[in-house]
A and B are shown apart, each in its own frame.
Chain A
Amino acid sequence: MDIGSFQGRLEALRVGAISDIGAAADLDALADVETRILGRKGELKSVMGGIGALPAEDRPKVGALANPVREAIESAIETRREVLGTAALEMRLLAEREDVTLPGRSLWRGGLHPIRETEREIARIFGQFGFVVVESPEVETDALNFEALNIPADHPARDLWDTIYVQPPTGTPEAPPDEEPRWLLRTHTSPGQIRAMRATEPPIRILTPGRCYRYEAVDASHGFEFFQVEGLMVDEDTSMGTLRGLLDAFAHAMFGAGRPTRFRPGYYPFTEPSVAFDIQCVVCDGSGCPACGRSGWMTILGAGMVHPVVLRNGGIDPERYQGFAFGMGTDRITMLRYAIRDIRAFLANDLRFLEGFPA
């Protein structure tokens, strides 16, 4: 064999390869062509195997003849691979099309109870003024729930709190019925005031939120279980003006910056002076409606300057210190916040109701 016919065989291989490469329909076929031509036992190898039959002086020329052929084939394969690859990807993407308007694979949505969230919102607002939550027990003594709060036994103000009593702790010494230390379910969060005052020293800024109990028939605005948040601030300068300023800030944060408020006398045995705090009716914006008894105002909390007797019972000198306390119905605030008509919804836990509070 001379170099000419060797070159002819190479050229034939090249032509055939280019043709086969162009004819490869997909990447797999192309890979087959590649193996058949360039593989270890491929056609190129086999043509190159003929090198031994060439005259010795021609052998050095083989490289210059074969390399361009190999490169041309490789380049053609690469070009074809790119074309086929792009087409394959397009096919795949086409095949993977789905109805993008289908709904997703759902998760249970979860949610937080509106009473607890309102409690937290109240704490968040007063937290900006340095108030922090202090927990206080639900089972209380008459002494802390009433007497220390300046509500002695047989005081007419006791009518304000219909009380559910519980058995005293076992081991309580036997005493005549009158003097028996009475245990009860706290009728308000106010005993938390006494506990906080006894546990710390002014300056005091605390909140005691939680569940309270009263002996009360259940209707759309009453329940025997309800929730309150108590606030207490005591130092040397806290005045009724501070109370007004903070309550205004609270009302505006909770019910909108423009909502008018009203500060008027109230009555609680544990505050003096006592305050009732109203906001303009959130239903009628003050024009008068059944929700506000046509007055245009809604009372959202009771407050006042801590009574000197209560300060004294908390171990604080009422001559030196003064301050305020307030107590608000978390249920009521929540009802106003979300336009809830019936307080019974809170403990009924209807799932539809609970799912109505995105947070």
Chain B
Amino acid sequence: MRVPLSWLREYVDVDLSPEALADRLTLLGMEVRGIERIGADWSRVVVGELLTVDRHPNSARLSLTTVRVGDGEPTLSIVCGATNIAPGQRIPVALPGSVLPGDRRIEIAKLAGVESQGMLCSGDELGLSSDADGILILPADTPIGLPMEDLVGDVVLDVDVKPNRGDALSILGLAREVSAATGAPVRWPGIVVTESGDATADHVRVDVLDTERCPRFVARYLDGVSVGPSPFAVQQRLTAAGMRPISNIVDASNYVMLELGKPIHTFDADGVPNGHIIVRGAEPGERLTTLDHVERVLDPEVLLIAGDDGPLGLAGVMGGLDSEVSDTTSRVIVESALFDPVSIRRTAFRFALRSEASLRFEKGQEHRLARIGADRAAQLILAWGGGRAATEVVDTDPVELPRARVAFRPARVARLLGVDLPSTEQAALLARVEVTTEPADPTDLVPIAAAGPTGAAQQVPAAEGALVAVIPGHRRDLVIEADIAEEVARVRGYETLPGTLPTSAMPAIRPDPRRLVDHLRGWLSGQGLLEVVTHGLIGPEDHARLGLAADDPATIRALNPVTADHSELRRSLLPGLLTVLADAERQRRPDVAVFEVGPIHARVDGQPTETPMVGVLLAGSARPATWAATPRAWDLADGKGLVEALVARIADASVDWRATTPHAGVEHPGRTAEGVVTLPDGRAVVLGRVTEVHPALLAAMDIRAPHVISVGLEIGAIAAIEPGRVQAGRVDGPPPVERDLAVVVDATRGAGDVAAIIRDAAGPSLVGLGLFDRYQGAQLGADQVSLAWRLRLDPDPSAPETATDDLMDHIATVLSERIGARRRA
């Protein structure tokens, strides 16, 4: 909310600098986001009078003027391009040497061959209005020579009014806050309507058919009104507050809205047949063309202001075109009504018509403002547009509401705030925001929680020492005891609450769910990998590249995505990681070793499910190229080695790699493996996959790297292999014996199969198995491969010396029997 200080000062004295005032309001919860100084960025702009306006000798588009800027000042000759000027007008003149907004300097200059001794200014050039076409015409009685900043200069505070404080969406409401901060009293404007002639009821009849959605409707009637511009000062004031001046009638309603927070609507009475106003829900299919020239199709959800012949306006949101106040209007009906906030909010959202008015209705309105607003609007229309106001008002609910009463326990307020605060002091603080207090009656109930859609009200009987806060009508936000506590703290100043460290009982020790993940992150980064965090929302194209159909039921899609590129929750970390690679390549950084830890999303059995994953992407060189190392590209074995080392770091376990069905177009058909860990109890845990990314997918993402390795592991699977309890290994016996075993097998036989057979045949004495050589070539048949294994065996000390040799022979025999492996010397 933009608050011109000149306007604010009408209702409360302010003896503070704008900065100090902004500070006080901010500390009171009315955060001032900015301070704007109108006139601060100009200098040497004064009021002048046009003496002559003639055609420019060399240009049809320019005029040559002479301007008087004060007694004793020389008459200036100024070239001007605007067409709205005439002799006798008072206008802002930028003198030679002046500065305008944007650090624009005005000097004597030749325009189309004629010297111009300054410039006549538009409202836009001074930052006063958006009107850039014409020169700003000032009132005829403006003193000539007056510096313009003295005429229209102002300071405007931009106040962030929170949604619960609709009452402060007004200059008067903020004056009340200033009063709470400084103690200066609030001055209400004198609201008096000079009435004459017939009664309003003779011209206006109001039937509210839906009192739920329209609890009060106050109407006034004026005739003989002349529509025209508002007084200059009013226009300036509205402009400074961020509202465009339209006409005296419309400006009057906007003025009341900004001043009191009460939205007002004005009708041209000629557009209201028989002066009959009906407030009702729309009929299905009913139509209304609103002020913005858009025809709206309505239904009963929409509350209407209607006439005998059909809709006149969307209640509280926007008026209809047919009853709009125009230049020719002379009879005006003023509507000052209360509407159900939810209904207004829904209608405004539905038609994308959220306005200053609907914003205020949404937050709820003080009951008495309906009458006050109608009177104030009528008063201003009379003052600015003349005419007569009919006597009295039409009012559908003239009985004002009693003040709300909220019982509270000062001791509980003190407990919540953590400060010892006697009830007398609490009462005094509340008095500064017009909340009076009185002792509670034992029958009073203290509201702990209000009733709402999620539960019933919770109340407790007022205890000894309880008070009742009597709430002024505009503070609809003060409902429960905690609200009173906030008000006490707010007025006293949050800064006065002393900070203390907790002394209450600690919760029991709980496991840290991030322990394993942080361990993995630290370990992976220690292996030289860089952690990335990519988008959770990716595009349909990303999923399509993974082979997931556009309508795949497991994909969770945003119904209202910000952009199509980020409209689906990722089913895989791979697209994000590949995007990092593609971006890095564009930055000429082809060596990419990155990882990400985070959830992937899918619908499982219809339910949204998150699966924490760790993803690794390796592209480019496995080590930095230096004088001391020949660069080598990452390959599948690097990915597997990383997983093996990770597993060994976490559990006393090894990884078996097995072939798995590659995802077509995503994973290399011949380079995709699934890693499995077999736990001591025999359970096999699938950790995830190591794969080379399919070249077609790389091409689709414009990635140049020929070979890219991807690892995807489930965090849950890694957690599953963590041992519950670790027992120290045995180090007192003899060291393990190492034996080598080279076997020739069919080249299509997986090394994993051979390893499994060796493990199976060796039994528990095998404590380590590594493949140290793999040979294919001239010494063997074309379809054969030699695999050389190194076995670490923990021999039984009591067994005979030949036992190890016997075991090796046994293993070789089993290999031969099962897969025809030939032992190599």
Q: How many angstroms from the CA of A134 to the CA of B624 in the assembled complex?
A: 39
Interface centre among B346, B454, B580, B591 (most CB of A within 10 A): B454
Q: Does A174 interact with chain B (Cβ within 8 Å)?
A: no
**Contact for A154 among B29, B345, B494, B529, CB less than 8 A:** B345
Which residues of chain A are near B489, meaning CB under 8 Å?
A: 240, 265, 273
Q: Does B507 interact with chain A (Cβ within 8 Å)?
A: yes
Q: Does A305 interact with chain B (Cβ within 8 Å)?
A: yes
Q: Is the CB of A244 within 8 A of B499?
A: yes
Q: Does B532 interact with chain A (Cβ within 8 Å)?
A: yes
Which residues of chain A are near B629, meaning CB under 8 Å?
A: 105-106
Q: Is the CB of B533 within 8 A of A346?
A: yes
**Contact for B454 among A147, A185, A248, A350, CB less than 8 A:** A147
**Contact for A241 among B418, B529, B608, CB less than 8 A:** B418
Least CB distance from A273 to B in Å reads: 3
Q: Does B460 interact with chain A (Cβ within 8 Å)?
A: yes
Q: Does A343 interact with chain B (Cβ within 8 Å)?
A: no
**Contact for A318 among B165, B342, B449, CB less than 8 A:** B449
Interface centre among A138, A147, A246 (most CB of B within 10 A): A138
Q: Does A255 interact with chain B (Cβ within 8 Å)?
A: no
Q: Does B514 interact with chain A (Cβ within 8 Å)?
A: yes
Interface centre among B452, B486, B534 (most CB of A within 10 A): B486
Q: Is the CB of A246 within 8 A of B610?
A: no
Least CB distance from B235 to A in Å reads: 29
Q: Does B623 interact with chain A (Cβ within 8 Å)?
A: yes
Q: How many angstroms from the CA of A110 to the CA of B624 in the assembled complex?
A: 12
Q: CB-CB contacts of A152-163 with B at 8 A, as 1s and 0s? A: 111111011000
Q: CB-CB contacts of A301-327 with B at 8 A, as 1s and 0s? A: 000010111011100001100100000
Chain B residues touching A, range = 35 or more
Q: CB-CB contacts of A274-286 with B at 8 A, as 1s and 0s? A: 1110000000000
Q: Is the CB of A169 within 8 A of B499?
A: no
Q: Does B448 interact with chain A (Cβ within 8 Å)?
A: yes
Q: Does A41 interact with chain B (Cβ within 8 Å)?
A: no
Least CB distance from B170 to A in Å reads: 16
Q: Is the CB of A355 within 8 A of B530?
A: yes
Q: Is the CB of B501 within 8 A of A113?
A: no
Q: Does B102 interact with chain A (Cβ within 8 Å)?
A: no
Please, which residue of chain A has its CB at the minimum distance from the CB of B601? A139
**Contact for B536 among A129, A138, A153, CB less than 8 A:** A138
Q: Is the CB of B601 within 8 A of A138?
A: yes
Least CB distance from A303 to B in Å reads: 11
Q: How many angstroms from the CA of A159 to the CA of B349 in the assembled complex?
A: 11
Q: How many angstroms from the CA of A171 to the CA of B629 in the assembled complex?
A: 59
Q: Is the CB of B454 within 8 A of A170?
A: no
Q: Does B700 interact with chain A (Cβ within 8 Å)?
A: no
**Contact for A309 among B415, B450, B527, B530, CB less than 8 A:** B450
Q: Is the CB of A267 within 8 A of B162?
A: yes
User: Interface stretch among B137-145, B187-195, B319-327, B559-567?
Assistant: B559-567
Which residues of chain A are near B482, meaning CB under 8 Å?
A: 272-273, 305, 307-308
Which residues of chain B are near A349, meaning CB under 8 Å?
A: 532-534, 580, 583, 594
Q: Is the CB of B610 within 8 A of A167?
A: no
Which residues of chain B are near A102, meaning CB under 8 Å?
A: 627-628
Q: Is the CB of A213 within 8 A of B537?
A: yes
Q: Is the CB of B497 within 8 A of A244?
A: yes
Least CB distance from B309 to A in Å reads: 31
Q: Does B704 interact with chain A (Cβ within 8 Å)?
A: no
Q: How many angstroms from the CA of A144 to the CA of B416 in the assembled complex?
A: 25
Tell me which residues from 140 to 185 in chain A have a Cβ below 8 Å from any Cβ of chain B.
147-148, 150, 152-157, 159-160, 164-167, 169-172, 183, 185
**Contact for B556 among A130, A134, A167, A295, CB less than 8 A:** A167
Please, which residue of chain B has its CB at the minimum distance from the CB of A115? B533
Q: CB-CB contacts of B473-514 with A at 8 A, as 1s and 0s? A: 000000010110110011000110111111111110011111
Summed over the interface, the residue pairs from A and B with CB atoms below 8 Å come to a total of 313
**Contact for B28 among A105, A167, A265, A346, CB less than 8 A:** A265
Least CB distance from B455 to A in Å reads: 6
Tell me which residues from 199 to 224 in chain A have a Cβ below 8 Å from any Cβ of chain B.
200, 203-205, 211, 213, 215-218, 224
Q: How many angstroms from the CA of A347 to the CA of B490 in the assembled complex?
A: 39
Q: Is the CB of B495 within 8 A of A263?
A: yes
Q: How many angstroms from the CA of A215 to the CA of B490 in the assembled complex?
A: 32
Q: Is the CB of B507 within 8 A of A205?
A: yes
Q: Is the CB of B608 within 8 A of A139?
A: yes
Q: Is the CB of B497 within 8 A of A171?
A: no
Q: Is the CB of A152 within 8 A of B499?
A: no
Q: Is the CB of A183 within 8 A of B504?
A: no
Q: Is the CB of A264 within 8 A of B495?
A: yes
Q: Is the CB of A157 within 8 A of B502?
A: no
Least CB distance from B411 to A in Å reads: 13
Q: Is the CB of A139 within 8 A of B531?
A: no
Q: How many angstroms from the CA of A349 to the CA of B593 in the assembled complex?
A: 12
Which residues of chain B are near A266, meaning CB under 8 Å?
A: 29, 162
Q: How many angstroms from the CA of A217 to the CA of B563 in the assembled complex?
A: 9
Q: Is the CB of A103 within 8 A of B501?
A: no
Q: Is the CB of B562 within 8 A of A224?
A: yes
Q: Does A78 interact with chain B (Cβ within 8 Å)?
A: no
Q: How many angstroms from the CA of A293 to the CA of B33 in the assembled complex?
A: 7
Taking A166-B559, A205-B507, A272-B485 as contacts, is the C-beta distance between A309 and B553 under 8 angstroms?
A: no
Least CB distance from A329 to B in Å reads: 15
Please, which residue of chain A has its CB at the minimum distance from the CB of B589? A351
Q: Is the CB of B558 within 8 A of A238?
A: no
Which residues of chain A are near B527, meaning CB under 8 Å?
A: 110
Please, which residue of chain B has its CB at the minimum distance from the CB of A274? B486
Q: Does A107 interact with chain B (Cβ within 8 Å)?
A: yes
Q: Does A236 interact with chain B (Cβ within 8 Å)?
A: yes
Q: Does B34 interact with chain A (Cβ within 8 Å)?
A: yes
Least CB distance from B152 to A in Å reads: 23
**Contact for B533 among A103, A109, A116, A215, CB less than 8 A:** A116
Q: How many angstroms from the CA of A354 to the CA of B594 in the assembled complex?
A: 10
User: Interface stretch among B7-15, B329-337, B518-526?
Assistant: B518-526
Which residues of chain B are near A242, meaning CB under 8 Å?
A: 418, 499-502, 504
Taking A156-B341, A225-B536, A239-B417 as contacts, is the C-beta distance between A134 and B528 under 8 angstroms?
A: no
**Contact for B415 among A132, A233, A322, CB less than 8 A:** A322
Q: How many angstroms from the CA of A11 to the CA of B584 in the assembled complex?
A: 83
Q: Is the CB of B562 within 8 A of A216?
A: yes
A-B contact pairs, 17 of them (CB 8 A): A107-B528, A107-B624, A137-B608, A138-B536, A147-B454, A150-B452, A164-B558, A169-B608, A213-B536, A246-B499, A265-B28, A272-B485, A273-B417, A273-B490, A276-B31, A350-B583, A350-B587
* Given contact pairs A153-B453, A213-B536, a sample of 16 additional A-B residue pairs in the complex whose CB atoms are under 8 Å apart: A106-B623, A106-B626, A130-B506, A154-B341, A156-B341, A159-B163, A170-B553, A185-B558, A225-B535, A239-B417, A240-B494, A273-B417, A274-B486, A347-B535, A349-B583, A351-B580
Which residues from chain A sit less than 8 Å from chain B, CB to CB? 102-113, 115-116, 120, 123, 129-130, 132-135, 137-139, 147-148, 150, 152-157, 159-160, 164-167, 169-172, 183, 185, 200, 203-205, 211, 213, 215-218, 224-225, 233, 235-242, 244-249, 262-267, 269, 272-276, 293-295, 305, 307-309, 311-313, 318-319, 322, 346-352, 354-355
